[in-house]
């Protein structure tokens, strides 16, 4: 499963996305619900050069940082793409938006 997570994360982060409707300025994360899966996503993120935090800026546990959405919807869309890719390989996760 580790290889599948790494591949899903790599592909989702590199994919082109159509911006979603912006909801305001803020940080976008993908939070992983299961501790064992979070460890695997964290290892994949580290290997690929992405930021995975045990606690996000606002306290969400096991959060993969997607980016800062500046009312343009790009990071929101990227977060959705990552959630869909990780769920497709069996990872329990959700997009978490944290406004400034």
Residue 66's CB is within 10 A of a number of other CB atoms, namely: 27
Kindly give the confidence (pLDDT) of every residue in the chain, 100 residues in length, as a single tens digit, with 9 standing for 90 and above: 999 999 999 999 999 999 888 777 889 999 999 999 999 999 999 999 999 999 987 888 999 999 999 888 999 999 999 999 999 999 999 999 988 7
- DSSP per-residue string spanning 24-57: -EEEEEEEE-SHHHHHHHHHHHHHHT--EEEE-T
What is the per-residue pLDDT for 77? 95
Residue 35's CB is within 10 A of a number of other CB atoms, namely: 9
């Amino acid at each position: 499963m580790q290889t599948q997570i790494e591949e899903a994360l790599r592909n989702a982060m590199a994919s082109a996305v159509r911006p979603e409707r912006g909801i305001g300025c803020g940080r976008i994360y993908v939070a992983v619900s299961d501790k064992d899966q979070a460890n695997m996503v964290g290892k994949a993120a580290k290997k690929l050069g992405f930021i995975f935090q045990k606690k996000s800026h606002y306290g969400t546990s096991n959060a993969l940082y997607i980016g800062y959405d500046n009312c343009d919807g790009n990071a929101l869309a990227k977060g959705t793409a990552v959630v869909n890719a990780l769920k497709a390989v069996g990872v329990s996760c959700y997009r978490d938006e944290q406004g400034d």
